[in-house]
Structure 1
Amino acid sequence: MTKILRDEDLAGGVLMSIAIDALEAAFLARAGNRLISPPRHHVSFPDRGDLVFTVGGLMGETPIAGFRVYDTFKGAEHTQIVAVWSADDARLEGVILGERLGSLRTGAIGGLAVRHLSGPDARNVGIIGSGAQARTQLAAAAAVRNLGRVRVYSRDEINRAAFASEMQHALGLDVEPVDSVSKAVDDADIVICATTSQTPVIHSPDLKLGVHVTTVGPKTLQGYELGLDVADAAAVIATDSPEQARAYASQFFLAGSGADDRMVDLADIIAGKAAGRRSSEEMTLFCSVGLAGTEVVVASAILRSPALVRRGSFGAPQDDPSRPLRAPQDEV
């Protein structure tokens, strides 16, 4: 029987770990040319918006294939659709509707970057932004590192206080709202920048030696949230898809800076084909672009998970880090 899941079904603290493990395997497959992930395809509807399609698949002992489609139409309600097939027998495994899967996928990729690029003893986190992406990025970091202190800044005092309260309860961490970027990143081993800012909110002098930085927000020459001096200072610059970064409609923010030529595929670092962090004093930078097709990999792992089926997570919302993911991304 084909499963149909919605946002309310994607509950349970185990989800992030399932997503990270599934994507670790997918990135290793990418390094071995076994991940199918062509660029996004846009279909435009004049004066209304686009339908955006991504197709993905994984070759191996249990091959999968599928697609995601989402819209950019004007309006308050947006519903993504992810469908997964078994590539062995053409069986439709399931369909997932809603927004939560996309946020979970993006957060899990950020978690992989933290696992493979941050120092193994990284404990303190600074977060700029208090929206949906900030939530999943923190949940993913907590899944791969033994975190201690977390500080969050965003422009809206109410939003950052709500973020701190929700994530402290969800993750069992000490999460403190602060009133400036400098306070958030002070002595942070991991810095997550997840804003909608079109001008840099973080610069290299703000950061400690050995920090790992993830940028999730704007990254084009028309607007970017991270100072170019951060890329200049980084010993390692990685992304989940160099092809997507260089295929932006507006040029990638590192284009022409010299740092662009140093950007490597996170998959190659995970597979040992490219160098990652080499010392405790090196700064590392991860530019998240959302590797197309990987939603299919995460959806398949969720649909196939016996742990979730046994716990009755399908159709049974629970109190966990997934709950606040619908909060809007906040500007700084």
Structure 2
Amino acid sequence: MTKILRDEDLVGGALMPIAIDALEAAFLARASNRLISPPRHHVSFPGRGDLVFTVGGLIDETPIAGFRVYDTFNGAEHTQIVAVWSADSARLEGVILGERLGSLRTGAIGGLAVRHLSAPDARNVGIIGSGAQARTQLAAAAAVRNLDRARVYSRDETNRKVFAKEMQHALGLDVEPVNSASKAVDDADIVICATTSQTPVVQSGDLKPGVHVNTVGPKTLQGYELGLDVADVAAVIATDSPEQARGYASPFFLTGSGNNDRIADLADIIAGKAPGRRSSEEITLFCSVGLAGTEVVVASAILRSPALDLRGPSG
């Protein structure tokens, strides 16, 4: 029977490690040209918005194929659809509906960046932003590093306090709300920027040597959440999809900065084809743009998990 899952099925701390491990395999497959991941395709409905399609799959011992579709329509309610097939048997393995899978996928990619670019003994996290992406990014960091403390800042005091309370409960981690971005990132080994800000919220002077930075929010010349000087001081700059970084309607935020040509594919770093962190003092930067099609990989791993009853406290 084809499985159909919804957002309420995609909760619980067991999900993030499943997603991270599935994406690790997918990025290794990408480095050897076994990941199917063409660019997004937009179909416009004038005056209403778009339907956005991504297709993805893996060519390995148990090949999979699938698609994701989501909308940018004007309404307040949005539902994504991800469908997964066995590329061997043509069997529809399952469908996942809702919003959580996309956030889980993005968070897990951020976790891969933390795993491969942050210092192995990283313990403290600074977070700018308190929304869904900030939550999954922190959960992913906690899944790959033995964290002691997190500090969070966002413009809304209530939101950052709620974030701190929820994530402390979910992760068993000391999470402290603070009243400025600089306090959040002070002495942090890992910095997560997951905002909607069109102007920089973190500059290089806010960061200590050896920090790893994930930027998840705006990253075009029209607006960007991270100071350009952070890229200047970074020994390694990586992204999950150089193709997507080049494909923005507005140019990527590092265009013209002298750093655009330095961007490495995270898949090549994971596979050992490109250098990653070489010392505890190096600053590293990961620019998350969303590798199209990888939702299919995460969906397949969840649908195939023997622990499909993953309901429990959200994390």
* Shared fold, TM over 0.5: yes
- Does 1:11 pair with 2:11? yes
Q: Residue in 1 aligned with 2:233?
A: 233
| SS at 1:307 equivalent | coil
Q: CA deviation at 1:319?
A: 1.3
Amino acid corresponding to residue 34 of structure 1 in structure 2: R
Equivalent residue, structure 2, for 1:218: 218
Query: Does residue 261 of structure 1 match 2:253?
Result: no
Residue-by-residue CA offset, 1:197-222 (whole Å, 9 max, x unaligned): 00001000000000000000000000
Unaligned runs of 5+ in 2: none
1:31-58, CA deviations, whole angstroms, 9 ceiling, x for partnerless residues?
0000000000000000000000000000
The residue identity in structure 2 corresponding to 1:131 is G
**3-state DSSP of counterpart to 2:120:** coil
Match of 2:175 in 1: 175
- Give the residue type in structure 2 aligned to 1:78: H
TM-score (norm. length: structure 2): 0.99
The residue aligned with 1:164 is 164
SS across alignment from 1:306: coil
The one-letter amino acid of 1:144's match is: V
Name 1:202's counterpart in structure 2. 202
Q: How does 1:24-103 map to 2 (within 5 A)?
A: 24-103=24-103
Cα distance between partner residues in 1 of 2:152 and 2:29: 35
CA distance in 1, matches of 2:49, 2:11: 31
Name the structure 2 match of 1:190: 190
Provide the C-alpha distance between the structure 1 equivalents of 2:235 and 2:205, rounded to a whole number of angstroms. 15
Equivalent-residue separation in structure 1 for 2:239 and 2:307 (angstroms) = 31
Aligned partner of 2:312 among 315, 318, 325: 318
Residue 89 of structure 1: SS of its match in structure 2? Answer: coil
Q: CA-to-partner distance for each residue in 1:276-311, whole Å, 9 max, x for gaps?
A: 000000000000001000000000000000122xxx
DSSP 3-state at the match of 1:16: helix
Q: Give, in whole Å, the separation in 2 of the partners of 1:260 and 1:148.
A: 34
Deviations 1:220-248, CA, capped at 9 Å, x for gaps? 00000000000000000000000000000
Please say which of residues 52-61 and 6-15 is displaced more in the overlay.
6-15
- Which residue of 2 is the match for residue 125 of structure 1? 125
After superposition, the CA RMSD in angstroms is 0.5
Matches of 1:289 and 1:165, distance apart in 2: 28
Shift of 1:320: 2.6
Q: Which portions of structure 1, spanning 4 or more consecutive aligned residues, are displaced by more than 2 angstroms?
A: none
Q: How far is 1:14 from its partner?
A: 0.8
The corresponding residue for 2:283 is 283
SS at 1:27 equivalent? helix
Give the whole-Å Cα distance in 2 for the aligned partners of 1:219 and 1:12: 30
Q: Distance in 2 between matches of 1:318 and 1:187?
A: 33
Unaligned runs of 5+ in 1: 322-332
Give the SS at the match of 1:146: coil
- Other structure's SS at 2:307 match: helix
Identity fraction in percent? 87
- Note the alpha carbon deviations across 1:113-140, whole angstroms, 9 max, x for none: 0000000000000000000000000000
CA distance, structure 2, for counterparts of residue 182 and residue 104 of structure 1: 27
